[in-house]
Structure 1
Amino acid sequence: MKPRGMKLLIKVFLAFLLTSLLIVGGLALLGHSLSPEKSLSPVIENNAVNYFQSLGAKIQNEDDIRRIYKDLQLHVRREGFEQLADSQGLPSFATTEKMDKDFSNKLSLGKTNGFYFAEVKGVTPRTVWFISYDEIPRAWLFPFLWVASFIFFIMAISFLTIRWMMSPIKVVVEGVNKISEGNLKYRIKTNHRGEFGLIADSFNNMADGLEKMIVAKEQLLRDVSHELRSPLTRVGVAVDLLADEKMKASIKDDLSKMEELIHQILESYRLKEGAKSLKKSNVNLSELISNVASDYEESMKVHLNLPEEASLHMDAMQMERVLRNLIENSMKYAKPSEPNELTISLQKDCDHWVLKLKDQGIGISEKDLTHIFEPFYRADTARSPGKSGFGLGLAIARAVIEAHEGTITVTSKMNVGSEFTIRLPK
Structure 2
Amino acid sequence: MRFFRRLGRSISIKIILVFISASALLAWGLWFSLGITFERQLSDSIRPYFSNYLISLQNEVGFPPDINVAKRITEQAPVNIVIEAPTFSWASNGDFIDKDYLDVKIQRVGPQGITSEAGFYKDNFILRTFNQGYITSFIITEKLHKTTRVKEILITVIAALFIIGLIYAFVYFTFRPFKIIQQGVKQIGDGDFSHRLPINRRDELGDLSKSINKMADNIEQMLEAKRQLLLAISHELRTPITRAKIALSMMDDSHQKASAEEDMNEMESLIHELLESERLKGNHAPLDLSKANVNDVIYQIQGRFFENAPVVFNLDSQLPEITIDANRIGLAIKNLIKNALTANRQPDDKVIISTACDEQTLTISVEDSGVGIPAEKIKLLTEPFYRIDHSRQRSTGGFGIGLYLIKAIIDAHQGELIIQSRVDQGTVVHIVLPVLSALPIDAT
TM-score by length of 1: 0.71
Question: Closer, same or farther in 2 for the Cα pair 1:24/1:147, shift >3 Å?
Answer: closer
Question: Closer, same or farther in 2 for the Cα pair 1:336/1:23, shift >3 Å?
Answer: farther
Contact 1:293 1:302 in 2 (8 A): no
Question: Closer, same or farther in 2 for the Cα pair 1:400/1:377, shift >3 Å?
Answer: same
Write the distance in 1 (CA, Å) between the matches of 2:349 and 2:139.
Answer: 101
Counterpart code for 2:386: Y
Deviates more, 1:336-345 or 1:204-213: 336-345
Per the TM alignment, residue 228 of structure 1 is displaced from its structure 2 partner at its CA by: 1.4
* Aligned residue number for residue 108 of structure 1: 120
Counterpart code for 1:40: E
* Aligned residue number for residue 121 of structure 1: 127
**Corresponding residue SS for 1:40:** helix
Aligned counterpart in structure 2 of residue 221 of structure 1, from 230, 249, 252 = 230
**Corresponding residue SS for 1:362:** coil
**Corresponding residue SS for 2:352:** strand
CA deviation vs aligned residue, 1:290-324 (integer Å, no higher than 9, x gap) = 65567758544535252603232111111122222
Deviates more, 1:340-349 or 1:21-30: 21-30
Contact 1:275 1:404 in 2 (8 A): no
Counterpart code for 2:314: L
* Aligned residue number for residue 73 of structure 1: none
Aligned counterpart in structure 1 of residue 293 of structure 2, from 281, 284, 292 = 284
* Aligned residue number for residue 318 of structure 2: 308
Contact 1:117 1:128 in 2 (8 A): no
Question: Closer, same or farther in 2 for the Cα pair 1:77/1:246, shift >3 Å?
Answer: farther
* Aligned residue number for residue 112 of structure 1: none
Contact 1:343 1:359 in 2 (8 A): no
Write the distance in 1 (CA, Å) between the matches of 2:283 and 2:152.
Answer: 65
* Aligned residue number for residue 323 of structure 1: 333
Write the distance in 2 (CA, Å) between the matches of 1:339 and 1:381.
Answer: 24
Contact 1:355 1:423 in 2 (8 A): yes
Whether 1:94 aligns to 2:103 is: no
Write the distance in 2 (CA, Å) between the matches of 1:414 and 1:148.
Answer: 65
Per the TM alignment, residue 405 of structure 1 is displaced from its structure 2 partner at its CA by: 1.7
Deviates more, 1:206-215 or 1:293-302: 293-302
Number of residue pairs aligned between Structure 1 and Structure 2: 389
Per the TM alignment, residue 25 of structure 1 is displaced from its structure 2 partner at its CA by: 4.0
Write the distance in 1 (CA, Å) between the matches of 2:92 and 2:366.
Answer: 93
* Aligned residue number for residue 370 of structure 2: 361
* Aligned residue number for residue 41 of structure 2: 42
* Aligned residue number for residue 266 of structure 2: 257
Question: Closer, same or farther in 2 for the Cα pair 1:121/1:383, shift >3 Å?
Answer: farther
Question: Closer, same or farther in 2 for the Cα pair 1:423/1:250, shift >3 Å?
Answer: closer
CA deviation vs aligned residue, 1:21-49 (integer Å, no higher than 9, x gap) = 358648966997x89938705369849x9
* Aligned residue number for residue 342 of structure 2: 332
* Aligned residue number for residue 18 of structure 1: 18
* Aligned residue number for residue 65 of structure 2: none
Q: Percent identity?
A: 24
* Aligned residue number for residue 279 of structure 2: 270
Write the distance in 1 (CA, Å) between the matches of 2:155 and 2:367.
Answer: 63
Task: Give unmatched runs, 5+ long, in structure 2.
Answer: 58-68, 84-89, 106-116, 130-135, 437-444
**Corresponding residue SS for 1:376:** coil
Contact 1:13 1:159 in 2 (8 A): no
Question: Closer, same or farther in 2 for the Cα pair 1:149/1:422, shift >3 Å?
Answer: farther
CA deviation vs aligned residue, 1:328-359 (integer Å, no higher than 9, x gap) = 3233223459944536342325x444444455
Question: Closer, same or farther in 2 for the Cα pair 1:274/1:306, shift >3 Å?
Answer: farther
**Corresponding residue SS for 2:193:** coil
* Aligned residue number for residue 347 of structure 1: 357
* Aligned residue number for residue 193 of structure 1: 202
Per the TM alignment, residue 236 of structure 1 is displaced from its structure 2 partner at its CA by: 1.1
Write the distance in 2 (CA, Å) between the matches of 1:146 and 1:329.
Answer: 77
**Corresponding residue SS for 1:222:** helix
Per the TM alignment, residue 249 of structure 1 is displaced from its structure 2 partner at its CA by: 0.6
Write the distance in 2 (CA, Å) between the matches of 1:35 and 1:149.
Answer: 16
Counterpart code for 1:93: D
Write the distance in 2 (CA, Å) between the matches of 1:59 and 1:420.
Answer: 103
**Corresponding residue SS for 1:423:** strand
Write the distance in 2 (CA, Å) between the matches of 1:83 and 1:28.
Answer: 37
Question: Closer, same or farther in 2 for the Cα pair 1:421/1:11, shift >3 Å?
Answer: farther
Write the distance in 2 (CA, Å) between the matches of 1:366 and 1:234.
Answer: 43
Write the distance in 1 (CA, Å) between the matches of 2:150 and 2:284.
Answer: 68
CA deviation vs aligned residue, 1:35-92 (integer Å, no higher than 9, x gap) = 9938705369849x97xx99xx99959x98xxx9xxxxxxx89552499548xxxxx6
Counterpart code for 2:328: Q
Per the TM alignment, residue 263 of structure 1 is displaced from its structure 2 partner at its CA by: 0.4
Aligned counterpart in structure 2 of residue 402 of structure 1, from 411, 430, 434 = 411
Contact 2:343 2:369 in 1 (8 A): no
Contact 1:77 1:129 in 2 (8 A): no
Contact 1:330 1:342 in 2 (8 A): no
TM-score by length of 2: 0.69
Larger Rg over CA atoms? 2
**Corresponding residue SS for 1:231:** helix
**Corresponding residue SS for 1:263:** helix
Contact 1:286 1:308 in 2 (8 A): no
Per the TM alignment, residue 393 of structure 1 is displaced from its structure 2 partner at its CA by: 1.3
Counterpart code for 2:41: P
Question: Closer, same or farther in 2 for the Cα pair 1:156/1:376, shift >3 Å?
Answer: farther
Write the distance in 2 (CA, Å) between the matches of 1:43 and 1:323.
Answer: 93
